[in-house]
Amino acid sequence: MSLNRRRFLTISAASLGGALASACNKNPERAKKLLSLAERGNQRVEEGLFRHTAMNRVSPSAPIAGASFPKYHISKTVPVWDTAARGVWRLEVSGAVRRPLSLTLDDLMKLPRITHKVDHFCVEGWNARATWSGVRVSDIARAAQATDDAQFVDFAGFDEDYHESWDMASAMHPQTLVAYGMDGYLLTPAHGAPARVHSPVKLGYKSTKYLTRVVFMPKQNGGYWSDQGYEWYGGT
């Protein structure tokens, strides 16, 4: 009897596993649909949990990563803004705004400056601490007079076609910056000079480096890693 049951269990386990495996192989669209359904469910939970009052607090005595802060870009070589070829670097703020902006680095530095020591969380599992200086994205949205249509923000840069779009709530978090300084110095090309997005409330891949465009939008438009299967929301 126990042998029969054992065989029954083995057969049912094998057929269930086989059915799942073949369903994924034969019908990748259906598997993809199931996964995106799960991602949407997760996203709703994450959006429900998100609070502007939940901050990343780092003790003032906590050590910073310094030179060991990981460097990363998708181009073959470190992207450097070529002033001779492209003119003065400007940050274009456009889309669902009443007053589109075109800010030079000096303009950006005249806006209210935030300097804070926060964590950077990577999807790979590591975290690294740095002191970032920059302007709140919420202050940029206010300066550009973002309209009610601005439900999402796309951050695009000159590191090939790298971009990532965000939900408005996360972009308006007080710790979400367009940063131009790191540990007291202006950004180096390895860390996204002249300016980059930085926030502890999103995973690192959502924070576009080598930033050139901030576009407020009524709909999200994916992103470099989000389009390759990484979670679009990517919140912490």
16, 54, 88, 147: which one contacts another protein (CB under 8 A)?
54
Mark the segment that binds another protein (CB under 8 A) among 120-128, 137-145, 179-187, 210-218: 120-128
Amino acid 115 reads T
**Is residue 200 near another protein by the rule CB under 8 A?**
yes
39, 92, 107, 119: which one contacts another protein (CB under 8 A)?
119
207, 208, 212, 236: which one contacts another protein (CB under 8 A)?
236
The CB-side HSE value for 184 (13 A sphere, CA atoms) comes to 3
Instruction: Retrieve residue 19's tokens.
Output: 């059915």
> Which DSSP string corresponds to 45-83?
HHHHH--TT------TTSPP-GGGS----SSSS-----H
Residues 6+ apart with CB under 8 A from 208: 155, 156, 157, 159, 162, 163, 164, 196, 197
Find the shortest distance in angstroms from Cβ 2 to another protein: 5
**Is residue 127 near another protein by the rule CB under 8 A?**
yes
CA distances from 72 to 79, 107, 141 (A): 10, 27, 27
Q: CB of 153 within 8 A of CB of 171? A: yes
**Is residue 125 near another protein by the rule CB under 8 A?**
yes
5, 76, 98, 99: which one contacts another protein (CB under 8 A)?
5
Q: How many residues bind another protein (CB under 8 A)?
A: 21
**Is residue 230 near another protein by the rule CB under 8 A?**
no
**Is residue 11 near another protein by the rule CB under 8 A?**
no
**Is residue 165 near another protein by the rule CB under 8 A?**
no
**Is residue 44 near another protein by the rule CB under 8 A?**
no
Q: Is 188 helix (H, G, I), strand (E, B) or coil?
A: coil
Q: Write out the binding residues for another protein, residues 98-117 only, by CB under 8 A.
A: none
Mark the segment that binds another protein (CB under 8 A) among 10-18, 43-51, 81-89, 99-107: 43-51
**Is residue 56 near another protein by the rule CB under 8 A?**
yes
Mark the segment that binds another protein (CB under 8 A) among 2-10, 88-96, 103-111, 221-229: 2-10
CA-closest candidate to residue 56, choices 121, 134, 141, 138 = 121
Q: CB of 50 within 8 A of CB of 235? A: yes
**Is residue 201 near another protein by the rule CB under 8 A?**
yes
**Is residue 172 near another protein by the rule CB under 8 A?**
no
Amino acid 13 reads A
Give the CA dihedral 62, 64, 68, 73, nearest 10 degrees. 120
Contacts to another protein by CB under 8 A = 1-2, 5-6, 38, 46, 49-51, 54-57, 119, 121, 125, 127, 200-201, 235-236
